[in-house]
Amino acid sequence: MRKKRAAVVVIGLLALAFVLTFASCQKLSVNRLRANYHFSKANQLFKDGKYRRAISEYENTLRYNPAMVEAYRFLGESHKSLYKPHDESAENALTADKALEALAKAYESEPTNKEVIYSLGDMYDKMRNFEAAETYYLKILGLEPTNMNNYYVVAEFYKRYAGERTELKDKVEAMYLRRVELDPEESQGYAYMANYYDQITPIPDFDSALDFHRKRLELDPNSAEIYYSSGVNRFYKGYRLQNALSPEEREKLGIDSEKALLKAVEIDPAYPDPYAYLNLVQRNIFAHVYPERASRHIAEADRWVEKFQEVRKRAMEKARLEKELTKLD
């Protein structure tokens, strides 16, 4: 009899455990459905730019499923979207704290998630916390050391601070050069490098930029855009450094600029931008180098302006027609 009673007790306990487990599973299943509902709703609000309402829905999502990493990530993104750089109010500081808190929880769960790491770096960057932002940006390089685009992202990050931290200029250059080294046959890496030297403040390194434009031409000798960029480079050196250059040096820069811009026009006559700079070369370099012939150069500049307006008008009309055809498709 004791054995039978014991067996009945065991069976009863097993049945109770089954019922509790089943109820727990049912509750878990319902909670997940509710979490998914709120998550879907939050994502749509996020896409629509309604970040405050999205925050509420992401919080509802996490109430029903605290393990959903993506909900933490986009909760952080929502707070980050509301954050205002340079606003030192207590409310804005609280927004920053909430963004970092949510993103940190996503990072704890997925420490190799590139999007989460980038978002943390971006948030600290918006807060002008250079050291913290750098830590996360460099983690991305560690995760994907052969991804060329990552070096561009880090270079652009360093470039934003290079004006106030002169020691970062070497780091900017190193990141761009590393991108070039990863794929020396790809023209875009040289374009980033040239663009960097063309935009160094307060005085661009025009000649170093030109070296990289020339390397681009070695890879793509029939590119109107590269000839155009080379011509612009020569023009700006002659124009911006006019007080430091002799008339002979400015004349040479004007000739080189004009030659490159005319080559761009030869390759692609429908490309408007070279015509605009052919105008500037005549107006702002040759008219000053040859003051006795200034009126002739101004007249030539005016003709290039007319040509620019004509070609740009055709380009805009072409773009409009292509857009309309796309709508018909």
Q: What is the pLDDT of residues 104-161, one digit of tens each?
A: 999 999 999 999 999 999 999 999 999 999 999 999 999 999 888 899 999 999 988 9
Based on the fold, state whether residues 154 and 109 are members of the same structural domain.
no
What gap in Å lies between CA 304 and CA 280, rounded to an integer?
9
Q: Do 228 and 285 fall into the same domain? A: yes
Domain-embedded: residue 214:
no
Secondary structure (3-state) at 138: helix
Distance CA 300, CA 281 (A): 10
Domain match, 196 and 135 both: no
Asked which of 129, 145, 161 is the last residue of a domain, the reply is 145
Q: Which residue has the higher pLDDT, 151 or 2?
A: 151
Would the pLDDT of 295 be above 70?
yes
- Predicted TM-score (pTM) of the model is 0.73
- Please state the rounded mean pLDDT for residues 150-173: 88
Q: What is the pLDDT of residues 226-272, one digit of tens each?
A: 999 999 999 999 999 999 999 999 999 999 999 999 999 999 999 99
What pLDDT band is residue 326 in, cutting at 50, 70 and 90? Answer: confident
User: Structural domain of residue 289, as residue ranges?
Assistant: 222-329
Find where tokens 């509790």 sit.
20
Does the pLDDT of residue 17 top 60, yes or no? Answer: no
How many distinct structural domains can be found in the chain? 3
Whether 164 has a pLDDT exceeding 70, the answer reads: yes
Last residue of a domain, one of 145, 168, 188: 145
Same domain, 326 and 226: yes
Residue 12 lies in a domain: no
Is 109 within 8 Å of 69 (Cβ atoms)?
A: yes
Quickly state the pLDDT bin for 183 (edges 50, 70, 90): confident
Is 217 within a domain?
no
Does 1 fall in a domain? Answer: no
> Is 216 among the domain residues?
no
Positive or negative torsion for Cα 117, 43, 64, 37: negative
In a domain, 13, yes or no: no
Residues 273 and 176 reside in one and the same domain: no
- Residue 15's pLDDT is 45
Same domain (yes/no): 119, 152? no
Tell me, yes or no, whether 150 and 123 share the same domain.
no
Tell whether 328 is covered by a domain. Answer: yes
Note whether 137 and 152 are within 8 A (CB). Answer: no
pLDDT tier, 323 (very low <50, low <70, confident <90, very high otherwise):
confident
Alpha-carbon distance of 137 to 118, in angstroms, equals 6
Output the average pLDDT for the chain.
Answer: 88
Q: Are 287 and 226 found together in one domain?
A: yes
Give the span between the Cα atoms of 174 and 123, in whole angstroms.
Answer: 24
Residue 9 parent element (H or E): helix 2-47
- Judgement on whether residues 245 and 197 belong to the same structural domain of the protein: no
What one-letter code names the amino acid at 288?
H
Name the residue with tokens 């629509």.
48
In terms of domains, do 276 and 324 share one? yes
Read out DSSP for 40-79?
HHHHHHHHTT-HHHHHHHHHHHHHH-TT-HHHHHHHHHHH
Tokens read off for 260: 């490159």
Same domain, 286 and 232: yes
pLDDT on residue 27: 46
Question: Do 69 and 132 belong to one domain?
Answer: yes
In angstroms, the CA 154 to CA 171 distance is 9
Residues 298 and 282 sit within 8 Å (Cβ to Cβ):
yes
pLDDT tens digit sequence for 46-76? 999 999 999 999 999 999 998 888 999 999 9
Task: Name the DSSP letter for residue 283.
Answer: I
Tell whether the model's pLDDT for residue 24 goes beyond 60: no
Q: Supply the pLDDT for residue 5.
A: 57
CA 174 to centroid of chain Cα atoms: 18
- Percentage of residues in the chain having pLDDT higher than 70: 90
The CATH code of the domain that includes 122 is 1.25.40.10
**Who's near 240: CB < 8 A, 6+ residues apart?**
203, 204
pLDDT value for 29: 65
In a domain, 7, yes or no: no
**Given this model, what pLDDT does residue 12 score?**
47
- Give the pLDDT confidence score for residue 30 in this predicted structure: 67
Residue 254: C-alpha distances to residues 127, 277, 287 (Å): 44, 11, 10
Gap between the Cα atoms of 322 and 140, Å rounded: 39
Structure tokens at 309: 């307006």
